[in-house]
């Protein structure tokens, strides 16, 4: 086993592509494409793990199409539950560690208090149930694991809410955005930075086989602060308006969830309490407004 080899799954996605960049300084990063790793096929996973023999697995891959998961639950569970289990089993055999990303959708969205890791789960949709099953399956393997539940992931690349809003703000006169779902946007690069930080912290005490310890388990890792989808969209359009002075952009109007029905139910409360992460690793997630400003600077560099 290479002590510095890191396998990143989902390298074409928002978190995975950022992780490849942030982890490059820590060792050899292996980021296979679909032609080499089919996460819906356990045999493909086992074959690659035995070939690569990484010290760390950063599992950033998932079935994230929340509404589509309602009509294809088998695929959602294959990618979100079965794949983490197989990765965990193979990693345990070679003494490797697994960093796995999960979601606020494991909760039912009740109340107004930010969720802590020990709160009862109760997912409202197939996506949430499959991700919760993945958390449980990974932990049950006995591998050294760190599960980071996050929320409302976005960045300067890929497909996400922010990029859709910025595009539609130029195309439409009015955007009607849900204003009764509360949480915090999380920058994909912040999650990649977290993965690198945790690997560095865990590895600083030695390079031998990674053994489970008290740090292993579930952590909440969402952007600091809170807002609504309407608040997020409004802030983004305001920043775009500053950049595109004189350009007419859409008005952003608040609506209730009931006015925008979707196949999958969404939780009303996606707030995450990230105190445990800060206490265990000395890592604080960026405030969502600060991360939004940084992403907007990436999208619209000064002078362009």
Query: Which residues form the catalytic set?
Result: 127
H/E/C letters for each residue in the chain?
A: CCCCEEEEECCCCHHHHHHHHHHHHHCEEECCCCCCCCCCCHHHHHHHHHHHCCCEEEECCCCCCHHHHCCCHHHHHHHHHHHHHHHHHHHHHHCCEEEEEEEHHHCCCCCCCCECCCCCCCCCCHHHHHHHHHHHHHHHCCCEEEEEEECCEECCCCCCHHHHHHHHHHHCCEEEEECCCEECCEEHHHHHHHHHHHHHHHHCCCCCCCCCCCCCEEEECCCECCEEHHHHHHHHHHHHHHHCCCCCCCEEEEECHHHCCCCCCCCCECCECCHHHHHHHCCCCCEHHHHHHHHHHHHCCCCC
- Tell how strand 227-228 and strand 182-183 pair up: antiparallel
Whole-number Cα distances in Å, 284 to 60, 146, 199, 225, 276:
20, 16, 16, 12, 10
């Amino acid at each position: 086993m290479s002590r510095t080899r890191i396998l990143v799954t989902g390298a074409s996605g928002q978190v995975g592509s950022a992780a490849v960049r942030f982890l490059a300084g820590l060792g050899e990063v292996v980021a296979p494409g679909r032609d080499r790793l089919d996460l819906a096929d356990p045999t493909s996973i086992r074959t690659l793990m035995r070939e690569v023999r990484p010290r760390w697995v950063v599992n950033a891959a998932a079935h994230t199409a929340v509404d589509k998961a309602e009509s294809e639950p088998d695929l959602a569970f294959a990618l979100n539950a079965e794949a983490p289990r197989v990765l965990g089993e193979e990693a345990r055999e070679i003494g490797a560690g697994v960093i796995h990303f999960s979601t606020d959708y494991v909760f039912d969205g009740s109340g107004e208090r930010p969720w802590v890791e020990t709160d009862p789960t109760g997912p409202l949709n197939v996506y949430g149930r499959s991700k919760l099953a993945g958390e449980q399956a990974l932990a049950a393997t006995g591998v050294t694991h760190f599960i980071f539940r996050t929320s409302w992931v976005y960045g300067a690349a890929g497909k996400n809410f922010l990029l859709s809003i910025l595009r539609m703000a130029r195309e439409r006169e009015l955007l009607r955005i849900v204003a009764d779902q509360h949480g915090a946007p999380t920058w994909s690069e912040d999650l990649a930075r977290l993965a690198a930080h945790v690997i560095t912290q865990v590895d600083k005490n030695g390079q031998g086989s990674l053994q489970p310890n008290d740090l292993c388990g579930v952590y909440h890792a969402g952007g600091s602060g809170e807002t609504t989808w309407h608040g997020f969209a409004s802030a983004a359009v305001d920043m775009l308006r500053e950049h595109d002075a004189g350009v007419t952009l859409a008005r952003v109007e608040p609506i209730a969830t009931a006015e925008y029905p979707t196949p999958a139910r969404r939780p009303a409360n996606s707030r995450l309490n990230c105190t445990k992460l800060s206490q265990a690793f000395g890592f604080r997630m960026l405030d969502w407004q600060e991360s939004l400003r940084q992403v907007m600077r990436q999208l619209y560099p000064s002078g362009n």
